[in-house]
Each structure stands twice: as structure tokens, then as C-alpha cells.
Structure 1
Amino acid sequence: MKKLLFGISIFICTVSSAQNFKYPFQNPNLPVENRIENLLGLLTVDEKIGMMMDNSKAVPRLDIPGYGWWNEALHGVARAGTATVFPQAIGMAATWDVPEHLKTFEMISDEARAKYNKSFDESQKTGRYEGLTFWTPNINIFRDPRWGRGQETYGEDPYLTSVLGVAAVKGLQGNDPKYFKTHACAKHFAVHSGPEWNRHSYNAEVSKRDLYETYLPAFKALVLEGNVREVMCAYNAFDGQPCCANNTLLTEILRGKWNYDGMVVSDCWALADFYQKQYHGTHPDEKTTAADALKHSTDLECGDTYNNLNKSLASGLITEKDLDISMRRILKGWFELGMLDPKSSVHWNSIPYSVVDSEEHKKQALKMAQKSIVLMKNEKKVLPLNKNIKKIAVVGPNADDGLMQLGNYNGTPSSIVTILDGIKTKFPNAEIIYEKGTEVADPSSRASLYQNFLSQKKGEKGMKVAFFNNNEFKGEPANISVNKAGINYNSFGGTQLAPNVGRENTSAIISGVFKSPYTGDVILSPSTSDVYTLFVDGKEIATRKGPDARHPSEFPLKMEKGKEYQIELRHTQKGKYVSITFDIYRKDPVNFTAVREKVKDADVIVFAGGLSPSLEGEEMMVNAEGFKGGDKTSIELPKVQRELLAELHKTGKPVVFVLCTGSSLGLEQDEKNYDALLNAWYGGQAGGTAVADVLAGDYNPSGRLPVTFYKNLEQLDSNLSKTSKHEGFENYDMQGRTYRYMTEKPLYAFGHGLSYSKFIYGNAQLSKNTINTNENLSITVPVTNTSGRDGEEVIQVYVKRNNDPAAPVKNLRAFERLLIKAGETKNIQLTISEDSFKFYDEKADDLVSKSGNYTIFYGGTSDDSGLKSIPIKVN
């Protein structure tokens, strides 16, 4: 049917109600609201409840498949086999490049759709990590460098977080007027940024001003500007109520002031914290918990407390109408993703699997890794290195560690270029001396002892590996072999663990006779994705009870030289994918003198150190010195690395510190021991190539810090608010934190970053010197590249409210990253939105425009010494 409307020809597709659709909800041409109401009327109460948890149950009689809502895509599709792995989120924040960030997430969502299409075609259902609903991005404010999950965020600034977060959402959800490519999710709502160890019981209390000016702006932007389709409520409580049943956050602000109509999903097993006395303990039982979360509009639970909603109904705590309110939002998600529509009607379903790990995506991973690198220090112009350099010493625990580069919440790339690999490739004519020197935080070195295994007494070298096509070790093994190289198996990317071994419901027995080469501690280190038990001479030494259980990674055992020990690792698959590793090694004190002697004749020493996602991350079983539960108790570089850096400095040779980290560190005492500092974050699969490109000068560094690098922990803690009942890390007040409220000079400022080019800022011009409170403002900034080398500069604009002593020192309100050629001057026009002049007002209980005198700062950093200023008046 063709219809002429306003002179434009449009085609309207009509479908007969009788055309192969048993029920109206199956007709993709009906309005979504009609489809929702039809399906809602067909579902029983039990069927509705079954669809309100992340592992949504199938409804075969209505052709509704099972579906796993839980999926991750923080910096690439995660936990779903082969995928392109971009730099960790904090690294992508350091790019300060919104267009490229958007492009990256368009690629991520392409891979996500392709994986979903393939998975659904093969099984007509989707499980965990196979769906279209991604619990990304993490837009919590990185208020304290001790938080281990800060690496997942876009840093400490609400505006930078908002802009990058909206770009991520748009890239994930696509621009189709009818169907979303995937769902994005704004998490964790709200006032959530550690500590990890007490997140299940912690009650965050902040002023309304901090709430509205710091903790909520990014969520508001994603809801109102990004149209994000899911919001995840946090583990912690806020003002005495758990976040997933919070009046202020969910009812008054999210559903009330912002009119959010999308889904709210709980963080995983967060509802169980409500009724467990060792955690929040705010609710008497499961049925009360389920009812309260539902009434506060937590629609979908990651966990199993909603299994008790029938009891809530029977007790009169909720009605079926309460279920239906949430079910409408859940069903809307099904329809707007096209998951119940014919495959041909959703154009996203045509995305081929060939986009996954494609050459174009690999190039983008390298580009983002390059853009993320921040040159923080470059004394005596040590960098870039001379291409004809003869001897390079590469030292440090992160130099040849590809897994470190992947960060957390990561996918599995087809290949990884380590920093050592990158340097070897970039400098093919140089002699490369490699010395690991030390572990990241352990004051010892590791020497593998795997070569001392026999498959059985008087057997061949290695360990015997027997795989079963069931998860109970029953019957004959599907495959038996002897692994001589080491135990490292995984089925990511759909690969088999071994010939004739299935991809699901497997188990394995890995065994061998170990003959100890010395008397003393031997370290056994099993790691699996599921359940395992470790036996030595028939005695259980260690066990992991579930795929999500936290567990130590090392088990020292006293052994005698020459004595044989029967070692057995039993693994049971519970998840879709399998990962099994087993290490056995000796730990010895680091010989700093030997390392120094080995590298003293090099022309330059590249030290690749810092932190590791094995030490900082989500609720981890880590208790190394300076670390606790995934967080840090100190922000210093681990002691063993500080000592090694000092030894390297004694050689008198230039030392380039390549810092790999997900957070800022207090490096003041180490500054004298290196000449150049290059922050490479956790750079993803191409991180090593990117580092080498910058070292060689083939890429001109242009990243900027998204976080403040304090001089030391004392500088941070001494400035924190004294009005909070909490101290240090647990203090959520913003006073004294981040560049916005810090009055002292940090070691490296937010927005800092050096270049091989030199940029000079001229005098900027404002569109007006006086504006009304509801007006945007335009600023034109002249920037000249006075060097002989093309380079990218990040122009930053900050706003300060002069007549408000409680306001931030300054707020980032506009920025742009752009290429300026050698000798070129560009006039960059930026918009300072009317929101830049909004602050919390008690009467309005919200942000409102404030008149008065303001100062506009502009430059290439947030540091006052690098900024120019213009006064402005707001009426």
C-alpha cells in the first residue's frame, strides 16, 4: 500500500491478521503496546515469574525460547569465546575521543549481534553470555584510586563519564527506529564505588549536593540523552535502604523525576543481601525481599530470590498487577530487540559472523590502544627512542604478560601482542635483553617445576589428562593424553578441549607423580572456570565449589627432596565454556643485583610494571601486601617493583617506565628512578604494539588522564571531609577528592598528557560575556602546533562558580580531541551548555541554573599552570 504524505512517498507494510500468526503478539506489524498486552494476558503467573530472572524460562506453548539476560561488553564482547578486545574502559576514557569511542562500540555490538545470530540459529535458545542484553557501561564515579573496579569506569569526572557513557550506549543500541541492535545498561545505580569487601553490607551516605552534582549526572545523561534501555541497581545500600529497593533512587529520581520507562535489573544476587543478617539484613525473608524489590521497580533479578514471588503473592505482599507492571517493561525488551519476530524482519540479524575478530576490528583495537597511551613524563626528551638503537633491556612483570593487558570483564582475542613482542617487532635490528625480574607484588621470582611430573610411576614426562563427556567422571574417558608442556585448556571460541570431547557437561581428571627437586615449599596453583578439587596423595588440599566462587590462587605445600607425590586435579564443568590451568612452581627472593648486572650495558631500559587485573578487580580473594579483596590499601607501586626500579636507576642508563594499571598510583617517591613515564593502562589485544609505536615515535602520544594521580595516599586522605562517619576509602564525601575538589597540587593532574609536538594556546573568544541562565555559550579557542611534527591535542574547557565556596574548584564542561598539523593554527569552537551553570538547590531538591559570576578556563590540562581564563556573568 502506497500513501502520499506531505509530498513524500512512503510505503506502509500491512499484514493480514490471519497471516501465519497464531497470536497477535507474534505479529511484528502491530504496535508494541498491543503486543505486550496480548502476551501478558496469555501468560500464567508462574510463566511471568519464570521470565523475571536473568535465566528466563522458556514458554514452549507460546514459542518463547529460554533466554539469558546476563551478558557483558565492557571493552569488547566478554566471556563468549573469541572477540576483539579493546583497551580496558579506563584506557578508552584516556583517549578523550568520543567519535572513536562510538565507533568502537558499534563494532562491539556488531560482534554481539553476530554471536547471538549464530548461537540462536544453532540451538534456538540463548544462555548466559549469548544474548543481546549487555550490562555495560559501568558509569560509577572513580572517586578513590583504591577501588579495584575503577578500571571498568570512565574515570573521576561526571561530564567525561556522561559523554563517553552516552556514546557507548548509542554504539551498543544502534540507530534503527524499530529495533535496538542490543541493549545497554547503566550500572551501578547509584553511589557505588567500593570498597569491594563490604559492598554487600555498606550503607552509602552523601550530601544531596554530592548526590546530584557528582554521583547522578552520568546516569541522568544515559537515561535522558542516551535512552539506555536497562539500569542496574547496586549492591550497597543508600541512606539505609538497599539500592534495589530504594525510595530515593528508584522511585523518586529514576522513575519519578527522569520518567525512566526501561528495565531495572538487580546486580547479581544483590537481593539475597536484603535478608542475610551478615549483609544488609534489612528484610526478614525471601518473600518480603522479592516483594519490596518488585514494588520499587526492580523488574528483572540476576539471582533466584524472585522464585519466591509466588509466596509474596500468597501472603498478600504484592498483587498480579504488580507483576504486570514489571513484566510490561521486560516484554518490551523482548519486542524492541526483535527476539520474538521473524528473523527476516530484523535487519540486524543479517550481520555475518565474519565481523567477529575481523581485520577492521583488530585495526580499531590498535588505534584505541594507541590513543589511550598517556605520556606523563619525558625528561631530557628520552622518548622517542632512536630507531637505530643497538641494545634495549626490557624488564618487569608486565613486559611479557598478555593476560594482564586484557583487564577484567574481557573477551578472548585470537592473538595478543605483549609489550615485549611489540618492542622486538618494532626494533628488529636491536639486541633485546629480557629479564622479568619480579612478579607484580610478590617479593619473589617463580620457576616452573612442571618438568618434574611423570604421568604415573615410571611413566612418561608430563601429566595424564582424561576428559569425560559427562560432568561426573563416569564411564570411559572420551580422550586420554599426556600433556608434556603444561596444563592450559579452554573451550572459548567454540574449540574442543580435545578430540572427541564435547563442549558442554564435561569433566576432567588431571593427574601425575611429582618428584620434588628440593626440600621446602612447592606452590600448587590450580585455576578453573568452574568447580574443582585438588588432591595430594589422596588428601583434599583445595576446592572451588562453584563457577562464581572466590578462591585463593596459591597453595604452598612442604615437600622433601627426592620424594614422590601423587597429585590429582578433578574439574567439573558447570558453565558453557571451560578453562583449566594448573601451575606448579618454586618461589625465590628477587636477586636485584643480578638483574642490574644483566641490563647495565643496555642503551635504554624499558621497565614494564605497575598493577595487574589479578590483583585489582571485583571482590577478589587477594590479600597481598597493599591489596584487599580486589581493592588497594595502598596506592604506592608494590614494594618489590619500587626496589627493582631503584636498582635499574643505579645503572645510570635512561629508564622508561611503561605503567600498566587500571587506577592511579602514588609514584612520588619513585619519580627519581625513571626518566620517562608512559601509562599504557590494560591496553587490550594490541597493547604491546601500541606501546612500541609510541616508544619508537611512530605514533605521537596524545592520551589524557581521566583520573588524578595523587602524590601519595596521605595527600588524598588528609584532604577528605571530616564530617563523614566513615574514614578514608569508605568516606563517600567528595570534599578533597578528585581535581574538582582538591586544592593541593597532585603529582599528575586530571587531563594531563604530553606529546612529541608542542601546542600554544591563544586568547579565546566567547560568543557573549553575559548570558541568561537558560542559554548555551560558545567559546572559540585558537591552538597552534609550534613544532615540526603533526600531533593531536585535547582542548579542555572548565567552568568555576566564583560566588559559591562549596562548589567544585572547577568542572570540565567541554572538550575536543583533534589533529593539528605542524605549524598550523586551528580555531576550535566548543559549546558550553546551559547545564554547566546548574548546581544543587535545596528548595528544588535538584540541579537548577544559578546566576552570578563565573570563570571559564581553557587549555590542555586541568592544572591551573596550563590554563587560561575568561570571566563571564550569568543573569
Structure 2
Amino acid sequence: MWNMCSIVIVLMFSFLPGILGDYPFLNVSLPWDVRVDDLVKRLTLEELMVQMSKGGAGPQGGPAPAIDRLGIKPYSWNTECLRGDASAGPATSFPQSLGLAASFSPSIIFDVAQATGIEVRAKYTDFSSQGVYGDHKGISCFSPVINIMRHPLWGRNQETYGEDPYLSGIYAANFVQGLQGDHPRYLRANAGCKHFDVHGGPENIPASRFTFDAQVRERDWRLTFLPAFKECVMAGSYSLMCSFNKINGVPACVNDKLLWNILRQEWGFQGYVISDEDAIENMITYHKYFNNSIDAVAACVKAGCNLEVTTSNPTPAYFSMVDAVNKGVLSEDTVRERAKPLFYTRMRLGEFDPSAMNPYTQYNLSYIQNPAHRELAVKAAMQTFVLLKNDNNLLPLRKNFNNIAIIGPMADNLVQLFGNYNPDPDPKYSMTPLQGLQKLASQVNYAAGCSDNRCTNYSTDDIKKAVQGTQLAIVCLGIGLELESEDNDRSSMELPGNQSQLLQDAINFGNGAPVILLLFNAGPVNITMFDAEPRIPAILECFYPAQATGEALYNVLTMSVPGSNPAGRLPYTWYRTADQIPSMTSYTMEGRTYRYFQGDALYPFGYGLSYSTFQYLKMTFESVIVAGDPLFLFGQVENMGDVDGEEVTSTCTWADSNPIKSGRSLLTSWKDNLQLQERRCWGEYSLVKIYPPCSLNI
């Protein structure tokens, strides 16, 4: 990247005072590669070692220290930007990534990433002006997460874009471009796609992510786990994070095939690779792949891991870099080459240019939670909701109620609505379901029923008292941070504790009043019995909508504002039970995700209802194509309902010969906003590569 994207600033800058500085690396009229080479050659091997060892996190892990003799400031590489500026004080909190994937809208992911990048840059400007550097105070992001959701119980499903490699790649590209910006010279912030690669659980059940060895077949690796990362690279991401796990016996952060052959030789990546926290130390302590840090650092640097992330270890593995060079197992030239992408990135972020040249330095704290970003948070949340059931068109709610019940452990639990890697909740701009839905009735009875989302301490009497005599019960159930997150896999698909009993009690004590079930979770839960229950006419999957939960719910349940007709679609297969698919430790794709699953799912991938209905007409495509040629698809879609709505159109292929082994492949997916009775023609194409020749279904 750094040696291909050189931009020569016109010579008019050369006579402006303060522009050039004393060193060529500060001279803005020089090409990027010349500046990078000049800077890196001025650093001692010891200085390079420390710079490459301090990727964060924790009190010992970062920031990369200042180099005072050259006027180089400290730099923090560790900032979380998944859907808002996380762990750096209040910031606009957008829905969790899995919910954003349910929008089937690349543009909303672009907009969220753009707003996130603006707020991250604004805070960085403020922090750096005060001389404050450290974790979550920089503009180099450990985001997005583009691993494939392949098992319902993985704790980090919520951070992903779902189970489809094609869509995950599109979303990743939009995130990267939205976050980094479109300035020809400067980055707003830089993306870092993770976790590279073959990483999708387990966290802790039934094995530890620190010792896990993912055994993957080449076909699955190429068709499932690599495509989204390739799209991330093609979109211009400056960084990738290598994962904890082994891949076929070799840890990811020292995996030559992954980091060198595929990433750099096949894809042409010229950015930097950063390790996950303590991943290099883990090769010694957990994987037992190396006996000492000298061998570990030599192999990792040669394989292409540019930067180490440690937590509280005062002596990172990369602190053995000088010893490795002196021992002859690592060359100084290799070290210098690996350092260049780090300083190139910092240059493109504007660190070594006068701030007046960089428009992104003008962002200030007034951008944090500004009205446009708060409005986007509401819009994004509305687009994430997936309507799973709507018997007798109960929704949208069309009448005013005298009294309703809003119950359940997720009804007024703000923290559990955000998911992990979230910005710090700001009560001024956050709204729970209870707060947002209170205006549905003149009297609202509220009962959590449980002391927390685990629902081990449950009061039947509280629920009975809340629902008796009401006209409608809105039940808010789900999983939450303690039960699905980093380090925490779920043990089953069942609703936690007594939540199912709470829902049953709401039905039994409600005297026939309809029940609306709102679910706040990432991976699917077992609601097969409740899907078939006629006294629950409506079910809405909400994921983790974050700060705008209450407002977005009111808008969608009443369809009271434009864009509030639910148009979310499931980004994963909603299995009936976890027993329907192979275990989490098996990395074969056979029998899992919509591409290979042959069983009876409760809800299929792409499922989602609307308050309107749509009809497809005159769908045509070429019956014979040559491998590698475009496949053109044509058709019409019409809104047959009496309200405006959005329809998601997706096209898949699968082979006649062996659909289980070949799998389904998503060719295209897009969303149309159709007014009532509107008919729209569409035409799409996809590049199809088929070998050997075969017959395909579309």
C-alpha cells in the first residue's frame, strides 16, 4: 500500500513556513514511500523493537512511546470502533453488528461507520491536544469483525455480519470505506478487519479459544472463511488482526500460508497485521508451539505479523526482537520492512503533516452525539428489527389502549440492550423498551419478573399482577452480555433461567389479551413452542439495538414515521435446536448455515415479514453462461399491500449434482423501497465462476 499510493503535493507547499521541517519524512512534497523510508532508517533497532511491541492494550501494552529525538509523539493502536467509539466515554451507540447485518443495507453500515469515524477522530483530536494517549484514545481501529457466524452458541456472534460470506464481504467493504473516508490524502481513521482467520468459536465451551486448533478443509477455507477478508483488503483496509487459534496446526499469527501466501502474495495486501491480545505469548504458554520468545518473535515477524498486542505483560514477546537479530534467526532488514506499514499508516492519518492540511483535524467534541448521529441511531435500529410473526396483522398497533403490561428482564435493563464493544451508554440519549412504549396506553403496568437477565430469581406473582386486566402484554426477553459475549459461549439455545416460564405466565394470566414477544439476543433461541402459540400473535427479533431501542420500537410497533415498516431479514439460519448442526469445534461447513443445512429450520436465512406484501413478476435470466462471464438477472417486484415498504431481493445458486457438498451461493442481494401499489423493474448481474461445468439452479 505505502509504495503504491504515493501522492506528490504540488510544489507551492514547499515555500510555506513550517511545512517541510528538518527531516525528509516531514516534507509533504515528497512521495509517501520516500518519507517512510527516511523515517524508518533513522530509527535504531531497539526503537523499532519497542514500536512493534506496543500495539496495546492495558497499562503495559501501549501506547507506542514517543521518540523525542525525532519529535515523534506516542501513538495508540488499540481503539474499538465496531458501531461507535467504544470504551472512551459517551459516544453515539449504534446497533450491534449482527443487527446491522439484518438490515440487508450496505448503505446503513457505511453511514454508521462514517459517523463512528467522525466521533473517533473528534475524540482523538481532543485527547491528543491534551497529550493523552492510551487504549481507546486513538484512530486505528480493531474493527470490523467479519468472522462467519457458523454456530448459534458462539459468544461473539453479535459482533459478526452473519453467516453469509458474500454479504459479510459487502458489509466489510462498506464499513472500511465509511470509516476511513474518501479524502485523497488522509484517512479519517483506519480500519482493522478481524479475526484473521478461521475463527468462529469456541470461546470457552467446550474448549478455550487460547488453545483451539481449527481443522479446516481447503474448500471451506477458501469459500467460507477467506472471502470477507479479501473484500476487506480490496476495499483498502490498512490493517488486519490475526486470531488466537491455530489453523490446521499452525497459529494464525505465525501462519505463513495465511499471512504471506494468501494475504500478501495472492491479495497484494501492503498494510499491517496486528496480533490479537497476547496471541504471540499464547504460542509459548498455551499452544506450546514455541519454547521461547526469541523463536516466536523471529517466526512471527518473518511470517508478516507487524505489531504485537499485549495486555499486562511488562515484557512482550517482541521485546526479544533485538536478541533474535543478534542470534541470527531474524534479519534487521526484515524488521525494518515490517515497521514501514506502521509509519505509513500514521502518515496517512496525518500525524507527520501540519494539521491545517488535514480536514479531519477540524472535528471536535460537538460531533459527539450530535443530532444527525442520534437520528441515524434511530434509523439504524428500526432497520435491524426482524418481524418473525404477525398473525391477523396485529401489528402495526392501530388503537390506543387503556392499559397494557410491559414485562420481562429486558424491558428496562439499559446495559443489556447494548451488546459488547459498545460506547459507554449516555442516559440522556438512551431509551429502554419501557420508556419508549409507555405512551401506547394511559396506564402501563411494569414488572421485570426477574432480578436480572439470567432470570434465576423469578416472581410469578409480579407477572400475574402486571398482566391481569390488561388489553395487551409486551414481553421483553433475551440473553445479554453475561451470557453471550467475548469469553462467554452459551451452553444451550434455551431462554435463560425462568424466562420461558415468565412468557407462559404472561399468556396464562392475561385473560386472553394478545402477547407481543420482543427478543433481545444475538444467536437464535429456542422459541419453537411460542412460535406455534396462537396467544402470541406477534414476535419481533430486536438483536441489541443500543441507545435508540425504545424510540425505534415505538416507531416500528406503531408504524408512526417513514421507514418504520419492518424490513429486517435474518442474517443467519434460526435452527430449532443446536443439535441440528455439528458441534462448534468442528470446522466442516457441511450441515451448517443456509448454504449447507438440509434440516427443518424454524426460520430460514433471509426470513422476515413486513406490514406489506410483495409479488415478483417476469423473472428472467440467461440459461447458458460461460464460466467467468456475467450472469444477468431481470424481473419486477410489486408492493401489493396498502402501505409503503421495503423488500429485500436475494438470488442464490446451487448445483443439481450434489447440493449438500456444493452448497448454495448468494449471487446478489439488494433492497427496494416501494410505495403502495408501486411496481419496479430490476436488473442485476453477478460474476459467476463455475468449474467443472454443471447445471445450476437459481
TM over 0.5: yes
Match of 1:854 in 2: 696
Count matched residues. 664
Q: Distance in 1 between matches of 2:588 and 2:382?
A: 35
Q: 2:78 aligns with which of 70, 74, 99?
A: 70
Match of 2:557 in 1: 695
Relative to 1, partners in 2 of residues 1:86 and 1:594: Cα closer, same or farther, differing over 3 Å? closer
Relative to 1, partners in 2 of residues 1:18 and 1:399: Cα closer, same or farther, differing over 3 Å? closer
Is 1:110 matched with 2:109?
no
Relative to 1, partners in 2 of residues 1:286 and 1:809: Cα closer, same or farther, differing over 3 Å? closer
Q: How does 1:116-515 map to 2 (within 5 A)?
A: 116-123=124-131, 126-197=133-204, 198-224=208-234, 226-276=235-285, 279-303=286-310, 304-414=316-426, 415-424=429-438, 426-427=439-440, 429-439=441-451, 442-445=454-457
TM-aligned CA deviation for residue 145 of structure 1: 0.8
Structure 1: segments with no counterpart, 5+ residues: 1-9, 446-589, 620-629, 721-727, 839-848, 857-875
TM-aligned CA deviation for residue 713 of structure 1: 1.8
TM-aligned CA deviation for residue 800 of structure 1: 1.5
Counterpart AA for 1:24: P
TM-aligned CA deviation for residue 287 of structure 1: 1.6
Check whether the contact 1:146–1:635 (CA below 8 A) recurs between aligned residues: yes
Counterpart AA for 1:618: E
Match of 1:13 in 2: 12
Match of 1:600 in 2: 468
Match of 1:43 in 2: 43
Counterpart AA for 1:609: L
TM-aligned CA deviation for residue 182 of structure 1: 1.0
Q: 1:738 aligns with which of 571, 593, 602?
A: 593
Match of 2:603 in 1: 748
Q: 1:799 aligns with which of 653, 656, 663?
A: 653
Q: Distance in 1 between matches of 2:456 and 2:254?
A: 47
Q: Distance in 1 between matches of 2:656 and 2:84?
A: 42
Counterpart AA for 2:274: V
Q: 1:830 aligns with which of 684, 687, 698?
A: 684
Counterpart AA for 1:713: A
TM-score, L = length of structure 2: 0.92
Match of 1:660 in 2: 520
Tell me the SS of whatever aligns to 1:310. Answer: helix
Q: Distance in 2 between matches of 1:73 and 1:33?
A: 28
Is 1:777 matched with 2:631?
yes
Q: How does 1:637-656 map to 2 (within 5 A)?
A: 637-650=495-508, 651=510, 652-656=512-516
Structure 2: segments with no counterpart, 5+ residues: 1-8, 56-61, 311-315
Q: Distance in 2 between matches of 1:598 and 1:112?
A: 43
TM-aligned CA deviation for residue 413 of structure 1: 4.0
Check whether the contact 1:88–1:406 (CA below 8 A) recurs between aligned residues: yes
Check whether the contact 1:90–1:681 (CA below 8 A) recurs between aligned residues: yes
Q: Distance in 2 between matches of 1:805 and 1:82?
A: 49
Q: Distance in 2 between matches of 1:805 and 1:382?
A: 38
TM-aligned CA deviation for residue 100 of structure 1: 2.0
TM-aligned CA deviation for residue 66 of structure 1: 0.8
Tell me the SS of whatever aligns to 1:82. Answer: coil
What is the alpha-carbon root mean square deviation over aligned residues?
Answer: 1.7
TM-aligned CA deviation for residue 687 of structure 1: 1.1
Is 1:821 matched with 2:675?
yes
Is 1:708 matched with 2:563?
no
Q: Which moved more, 1:72-81 or 1:631-640?
A: 631-640
Counterpart AA for 2:339: M
Q: 1:764 aligns with which of 615, 619, 624?
A: 619
Check whether the contact 1:441–1:640 (CA below 8 A) recurs between aligned residues: no
**Structure in which a larger fraction of residues adopt helix:** 2
Check whether the contact 1:440–1:612 (CA below 8 A) recurs between aligned residues: no
Relative to 1, partners in 2 of residues 1:383 and 1:730: Cα closer, same or farther, differing over 3 Å? same
- The sequence identity of aligned pairs, in percent, is 33
- What does the per-residue CA deviation read over 1:509-556, in whole Å, with 9 as the maximum and x for residues that have no partner? xxxxxxxxxxxxxxxxxxxxxxxxxxxxxxxxxxxxxxxxxxxxxxxx
Check whether the contact 1:87–1:369 (CA below 8 A) recurs between aligned residues: yes
Match of 1:873 in 2: none
Q: Distance in 1 between matches of 2:559 and 2:620?
A: 34
TM-score, L = length of structure 1: 0.74
Match of 1:633 in 2: 491
Check whether the contact 2:410–2:453 (CA below 8 A) recurs between aligned residues: no
Check whether the contact 2:596–2:660 (CA below 8 A) recurs between aligned residues: no
Check whether the contact 2:646–2:672 (CA below 8 A) recurs between aligned residues: yes
TM-aligned CA deviation for residue 828 of structure 1: 2.0
Counterpart AA for 2:693: S
Check whether the contact 2:10–2:29 (CA below 8 A) recurs between aligned residues: no
Relative to 1, partners in 2 of residues 1:690 and 1:808: Cα closer, same or farther, differing over 3 Å? farther
Match of 1:99 in 2: 107
TM-aligned CA deviation for residue 781 of structure 1: 2.5
Q: 2:459 aligns with which of 591, 600, 618?
A: 591
Tell me the SS of whatever aligns to 1:797. Answer: strand
Counterpart AA for 1:702: A
Check whether the contact 1:600–1:653 (CA below 8 A) recurs between aligned residues: no
Check whether the contact 1:800–1:811 (CA below 8 A) recurs between aligned residues: yes
Counterpart AA for 1:418: T
Check whether the contact 1:593–1:647 (CA below 8 A) recurs between aligned residues: no
Check whether the contact 1:773–1:850 (CA below 8 A) recurs between aligned residues: no
TM-aligned CA deviation for residue 763 of structure 1: 2.6
Match of 1:22 in 2: 22
